[in-house]
Amino acid sequence: MATASLNAEARTETGKGVARKLRAAGRVPAVIYGHAREAQALSLPTRELEKLLSSIATGSTVVELSVGSATTKTLIREVQRHPFKKQILHVDFQELVAGEKVTVEIPLVFVGVPEGVRLSGALLEQILHSIEVLVDPSSIPNHIDVDVTNLAMGHSLHVRELPLPAGLEVLTDEDATVCAVVAPRAVVEETPAEGAEAPVEPELIRKPKEEEEAK
């Protein structure tokens, strides 16, 4: 299980105006909620948050969120960003409770070089990059290794074939294709066949100028 830590401050004021002031002061508005707690408004230091988000798998990393003297294990459930700027607008955290399973996205890490790539010049097409699972917070894996070494050209791997740690309940369709080894896409250029003659433009037949003038 991957973990990280982040400091936050509780806030009592909410609203768009307050959020704008927080961002101008170098902080990001946030909220934490959970099964047995009321939603609590927070603010986070922008630089620390950006550094954290650049180094973790957001959907599967447990974030130990410190608010005053209390530390709570959480998952980041949503990061709202500006439509065309890099600015983070808001973050939602969900409190984790031992024994209460949560739905998370687990990244897939492809391991090895497929047989079809090594021997036939094929390509590995990665279709899924994560799967959705139901799991106890204490058993969230950092990622799932997908060994593709024995995949020949034309073969594929499905969700039901993944080697999964104990305690995971897979929510992604078990028949979904994870990856496939496919032939390279050939680029065919249309060129005239050898010896073929270029199309001849029709001859324009005109009457002699003298005949035209004689009319």
Please check whether residues 75 and 108 belong to one and the same domain: no
CB contact set of 22 (below 8 Å; sequence gap of 6+): 11, 28, 29, 43
85-97 pLDDT tens trace: 889 999 999 999 8
Closest C-alpha among 174, 171, 117 to residue 148: 117
Instruction: Report yes or no on 200 lying in a domain.
Output: no
155-208 pLDDT tens trace: 999 999 999 988 899 999 999 999 999 998 764 445 555 555 555 554 444 555
N-terminal to C-terminal alpha carbon distance within the chain? 99
* CATH number of the domain where residue 67 is located: 2.40.240.10
- Residue 91's DSSP bridge partners are 30, 79
Question: Which of 96, 121, 144 is at the close of a domain?
Answer: 96
Domain range for residue 43?
3-96
* CATH number of the domain where residue 114 is located: 2.170.120.20
21-37 pLDDT tens trace: 999 999 999 999 987 78
pLDDT higher than 60, residue 72: yes
pLDDT band per the 50, 70, 90 thresholds, residue 46 = very high
